Chains A and B, each alone.
Chain A
Amino acid sequence: MSTKIEIKNVYKIFGENPAKVLPMVQEGATKEEVLEQTGHTVGLDNVSINVQEGETFVCMGLSGSGKSTLIRHINRLIDPTAGEVSVEGTNVMQLDQKSLIEFRRHKMSMVFQRFGLFPHKTVIQNVGYGLEVQGKEKNEIEKVAMEKIDAVGLIGFEHMYPNQLSGGMQQRVGLARALATNTDIMLMDEAFSALDPLIRSDMQKQLIDLQAELKKTIVFITHDLDESLRLGDHIGILNGGRLVQVGTPIEIIMKPADDYVAAFVKDVNRAKVIKAKIIMVSPQKFKGTKNSNTIKVNEDAFLDEFLPKVCLTPATIEVVDKSGNLKGYITDKELSKALTKTHSNGVVKS
């Protein structure tokens, strides 16, 4: 796997004269100090991330943390004050107006929080918009658009207007529009945040299914931890424009980098996030006594899938891979450790 998107030491300062304030931010002044002394708002403060090809990178933070600003740097809807953004090795900052437009047309597509649909266009025209600006032929646009409308399950609504549809359906139009240009990269800016919980969970599932098939590189912005744990291969947590931690969902939960992240993950249902293979001990290291009862679990199973069984009958849990080979064991000790909440420094709370 190769690096698809590289963001390197990006700073973004909003205000009248960002260049003047930049040294102050680079010297480590906090967002509050900068605002008080210069009236400038720090959007991003030395953010560097790498997004690998084919993964879903979730950028999480509360409102005002700079996550929406960050995603707009990738397709240069916002220009950074300092720093580098490269996509597939191309420095996005060096593109002139014309190549930037070509880059946006062919390299990436975007899904918006409040959908960003064109109210004066029908569903099919909305979905085909990316192809329309590319100057594709009408027949081809309609053919591709119908395919994508089918993929998101909106057949029969193609001649409706966005305002005639419910929120969930509108966002499916947004998703179909992003899929239609068949770009490798998809940027999703709080794509599901405006939807109610049931529809949101539905849409997440749809995205996971689509992603399993299409293997796109997705940068997903959210303020919802459960969503980021569910969708993300890697998660970056932003606070006040600074990137406080990047890691896999498990790393974020098991080893929060600071109090801020710890507070975030405090209420997560760990059993739903942690997989068997994460906490198992390898057969060589296993020293406990084996119970006569054994339960076999898949290495990719989440804890909550086999916990009820273990609670009923004490047994040794054997972790196996897809073809049934023994990979490790899980005992009560590991289970208890995994499910106990931790401090920011990783010490188990008694």
Chain B
Amino acid sequence: MEKYKKYINLIYLAIFVGMVVMAYTTSKYRPESVFVLFTDLSWLGDWPKWLDFPLMPFLNKWFDILIVKYGIMFEGINFFLLGIYGQMKNFLVGLPWPIVMISVILLAYFASGKQMGTTIMVGFCVFFLGFLSPRYWDKCIMTTTIVVIGMLLCLVIGIPIGIAMARNKKVRNALLPILDLMQTIPSFCYLIPGILLFGLGAVPAIVAIFVYAVPPLIRLTDLGIRLVDKEVIEAAEAFGANKKQKLWGVQLPLALPNIMQGINQCTMMSLAMVVIASMIGTRGIGDEVLLGLQQLNVGMATEAGIAIVLLAIIFDRITQSYGERMQERVHHTKEKVKLK
């Protein structure tokens, strides 16, 4: 390993030179001979056409292979997620609306630790979803279902990755650039290929939610675990806690407020993505906005926009108030006791 480290810069240089040579040799526009480059210096003016790394044809080939060879795998994922989505959606849409409403209110009531203010606010928001336009009710349920499934996917995959990152510096260094990529790449870059892989509908939206919303959850899980007081971790180690006991007994409970913050962020971003996903044919409250804009019906688009905001408030208040309660449970700063 030590030996290898010494030459790392040389290796990078070799890769770079290789890339330039490859671009040159595969280019249609290259001069007849390399020596022309030294006699005719005009290529130093504008960027020469032959200095073009052939990434696009490579990616296209790769994508074709993905569809042809691994299509069955994506089909499987599609089938699985669509199945869950269909079941959940049909169940919720089939329920009488007052029952759904009361369930959400009860959820808010218990998640917030029986705070009346939060509960009443969530109740009003839920009521106004249907009150704005009866059409919105079912569409909001579709959107919610997609968000919930996307979130579950994020939790199941994101939290273990976050834990792995906190435990191992190498894993973290390898994953951070990928997270950066996921967060900065324009969403259409994976929405459209998503259609090719999973077809139109809910599944590419769920996948897009995962790509877009999982990075903050991973980051905050990682941060939360690393921020746990070093002395507390030392104490656990000094008393002979093994890795498992340390993780489940100390690190995760103490990182919970941060993880909850990550889940909250994850929800908000999921909701934002599910609205964008309506542009690739995902049904839900987002397509009302799209429809309104297509018909230049500003009022309709705004009304649907308000419904999305209400939905966001419901999600935010429920996850946020639950997170606050976790924080209290972990740090118990509410009341101090005086020595008798």
Query: Chain B nearest CB: distance from A8 CB in Å?
Result: 22
Among B185-193, B229-237, B317-325, the stretch in contact with A: B229-237
Tell me if A223 is interfacial: C-beta within 8 Å of chain B: no
Query: Chain B nearest CB: distance from A48 CB in Å?
Result: 23
Query: Chain A nearest CB: distance from B216 CB in Å?
Result: 24
Q: Name the interface residues of B226-272: CB closer than 8 Å to any CB of A.
A: 229, 231-232, 234-242, 245, 249-250, 253-254
Tell me if A81 is interfacial: C-beta within 8 Å of chain B: no
Q: How far is the CA of A72 from the CA of B231 in the complex (A)?
A: 12
Most chain B Cβ neighbours within 10 Å, of A77, A103, A106, A177: A77
Query: Which residues on A sit within 8 Å (CB–CB) of B241?
Result: 101, 133
Interface residues of A: mostly helix, strand, loop or mixed? mixed
Tell me if A42 is interfacial: C-beta within 8 Å of chain B: no
Decide yes or no: A163 and B340 within 8 Å by CB, A102-B240, A117-B235 being known contacts.
no
0 or 1 for each of B268-281: is its CB under 8 Å from A? (1 = yes): 00000000000000
Tell me if A156 is interfacial: C-beta within 8 Å of chain B: yes
Q: State how many residues of chain B have any CB contact under 8 Å with chain A.
A: 28
Return the chain B residue nearest A163 by Cβ.
B332
Query: Which residues on B sit within 8 Å (CB–CB) of A120?
Result: 253-254, 329-332
* B232–A117 touching, CB < 8 Å: yes
Decide yes or no: A156 and B340 within 8 Å by CB, A105-B239, A112-B231, A117-B235 being known contacts.
yes
Query: Which residues on A sit within 8 Å (CB–CB) of B69?
Result: none
0 or 1 for each of B300-340: is its CB under 8 Å from A? (1 = yes): 00000000000000000000000000000111110111111
* A104–B337 touching, CB < 8 Å: no
Contact of B238 (CB < 8 Å), options: A102, A104, A114: A104
Query: Which residues on B sit within 8 Å (CB–CB) of A117?
Result: 232, 235
What is the total of A-B residue contacts with beta carbons within 8 Å? 90
Tell me if A54 is interfacial: C-beta within 8 Å of chain B: no
Q: How far is the CA of A77 from the CA of B335 in the complex (A)?
A: 34
* A130–B332 touching, CB < 8 Å: no
Query: Chain B nearest CB: distance from A170 CB in Å?
Result: 11
Query: Chain B nearest CB: distance from A30 CB in Å?
Result: 28
Q: State how many residues of chain A have any CB contact under 8 Å with chain B.
A: 39
Query: Which residues on A sit within 8 Å (CB–CB) of B340?
Result: 156
* A163–B240 touching, CB < 8 Å: no
Q: How far is the CA of A116 from the CA of B236 in the complex (A)?
A: 9
* B239–A77 touching, CB < 8 Å: no
Contact of A133 (CB < 8 Å), options: B232, B240, B330, B333: B240
Q: How far is the CA of A118 from the CA of B236 in the complex (A)?
A: 9
Query: Which residues on B sit within 8 Å (CB–CB) of A75?
Result: 238
Tell me if A14 is interfacial: C-beta within 8 Å of chain B: no
Tell me if A157 is interfacial: C-beta within 8 Å of chain B: yes
Decide yes or no: A129 and B238 within 8 Å by CB, A114-B231, A117-B232, A165-B337 being known contacts.
no
* A160–B337 touching, CB < 8 Å: yes
7 nearest CB pairs, A to B:
A105-B240, A116-B235, A161-B332, A104-B240, A110-B238, A116-B231, A130-B239
26 cross-chain CB contacts under 8 A: A72-B234, A77-B234, A103-B240, A104-B237, A104-B239, A105-B239, A109-B238, A110-B238, A115-B231, A116-B235, A117-B235, A118-B236, A119-B254, A119-B331, A120-B329, A120-B332, A129-B235, A130-B239, A133-B236, A133-B249, A160-B337, A161-B332, A163-B331, A164-B335, A164-B336, A181-B239
Q: A119-B332, A130-B240 are in contact. List 9 more A-B contacts (CB 8 A).
A: A77-B237, A104-B238, A104-B239, A109-B239, A133-B241, A133-B242, A134-B240, A164-B336, A164-B337
